[in-house]
Amino acid sequence: MKFAIAVFSPAHAPSSRRALRFAQAALAGGHEIVRLFFYQDGVHSASGNVVAPQDELDLPAEWRAFVSAQQLDAVVCIAAALRRGVLNAEEAQRYQRPAANLPPPWELSGLGQLHEAAQGADRLMCFGGD
């Protein structure tokens, strides 16, 4: 089965962790992930500046390692990211901001990428966004 996964909740929310565990289980079960899409507060899961307390899981680091290891298509909504100060180097330069905090493997793109992923998947799984 082909899954598109949308994450709406921030990095520290339980639903973001559930999304990661679901994605890991889907691949382990022989399924395919056509795209991960981070939207609304979910863009914080891609930020390179989120620091987890020492006694908590560093979920952004877990997402980054998972996406890199599995070579997944991981898209961060550009409008949601800009609104929340999550910028790659190109956007930081464009808006004259002092630093970028969206490292690879993340890609900034529009909401159309979520629509396209939903069209190409058998199921769209959404996490968070209560």
List, by residue number, the catalytic residues: 77
Measured CA distances, 83 to 41, 88, 99 (Å): 10, 13, 15
Please tell me whether residue 80 adopts helix, strand or coil conformation.
helix
Q: How far apart are CA 97 and CA 119, in angstroms?
A: 35
Q: Could you tell me which of 74, 59, 85, 66 has the C-alpha nearest to residue 27?
A: 66
